[in-house]
Amino acid sequence: DQQVKQNSPSLSVQEGRISILNCDYTNSMFDYFLWYKKYPAEGPTFLISISSIKDKNEDGRFTVFLNKSAKHLSLHIVPSQPGDSAVYFCAARKRGGNKLVFGAGTILRVKS
Amino acid sequence: KAGVTQTPRYLIKTRGQQVTLSCSPISGHRSVSWYQQTPGQGLQFLFEYFSETQRNKGNFPGRFSGRQFSNSRSEMNVSTLELGDSALYLCASSLALAGSTGELFFGEGSRLTVL
């Protein structure tokens, strides 16, 4: 069963505009939600996380929003830059350990 | 400081063989997790070790095993390799079990090809 879903396989955005990546989850036993960025043949790089008790977390150009009632989170990147082009994974951490459940990923292309 | 180091980066095996992959976590990190990435299944959790004890295990057959040493370094082993085991195997480390931000630091992975 897919507990974490990223329904958009890809997203294309113009440089300088906002990129919004979405993620849905089905399990309430997650205590943290994270976003990772990945380039081919490299390991994922952590971007930002949010505790399940928060609604929003910001770090520079990256903001994550969590809607617990809808079991939905989103990552906003403002402004988008060509270097942001990569695969973005949403992940959720199960309580009590470091096990992450990943979504399928969304390919972001930022056009200059 | 040095990141998570995985060896070897690339390897080719044939069906029926076994393979051992190694992971050195960031200095001071005591938790090590392993993930498998394939085009069809995405990133899937294999197992997690903390203080030399397996704390969590994913839904993989018993052919997949691992261990952690007293210096926190970890190895995973896959026996009787199958074609479907071809994947990028990623190791991730963390300071503690269930840390305060959830962040895991990933290595660059070991790319296994089974022929």
- The per-residue pLDDT for range B20-77, each reduced to its tens digit, is 999 999 999 999 999 999 988 889 999 999 999 999 899 999 999 999 999 999 999 9
Per residue in A10-23, pLDDT tens?
Answer: 999 999 999 999 99
Which chain A residues are within 8 Å of B43, Cβ to Cβ? 44, 89, 91, 100, 102
| A26 in Cβ contact with B78 (< 8 Å) | no
Which of B48, B88, B103 is closest, CB to CB, to A49?
Answer: B103
| B112 in Cβ contact with B89 (< 8 Å) | yes
* Residue B45 sits at the chain A interface (C-beta within 8 Å): yes
Contact partners, residue B72, CB within 8 Å, separation at least 6: B25, B29, B30, B32, B93
* Residue A1 sits at the chain B interface (C-beta within 8 Å): no
Bridge partners for A45 per DSSP: A37
Of A42 and A82, the one with more pLDDT: A82
Task: Using a pLDDT cut of 90, give the percent of chain A over it.
Answer: 86
Contact partners, residue B26, CB within 8 Å, separation at least 6: B1, B2, B3, B4, B93, B105
Per residue in B87-98, pLDDT tens?
Answer: 999 999 998 776
Identify the CA nearest to B85 among candidates B109, B66, B111, B106.
Answer: B111
Which chain B residues are within 8 Å of A32, Cβ to Cβ? 101-102
In the predicted model, is pLDDT for residue A1 greater than 70?
Answer: no
Looking at every residue in chain B, the average pLDDT score rounds to 93
pLDDT of A95: 85
Q: Which residue has the tokens 């991730």?
A: B92
**Cα radius of gyration rounded to whole Å, chain A:** 13
Q: Given an 8 Å threshold on Cβ–Cβ distance, is B103 in contact with A96? A: no
Q: Given an 8 Å threshold on Cβ–Cβ distance, is A31 in contact with B98? A: yes
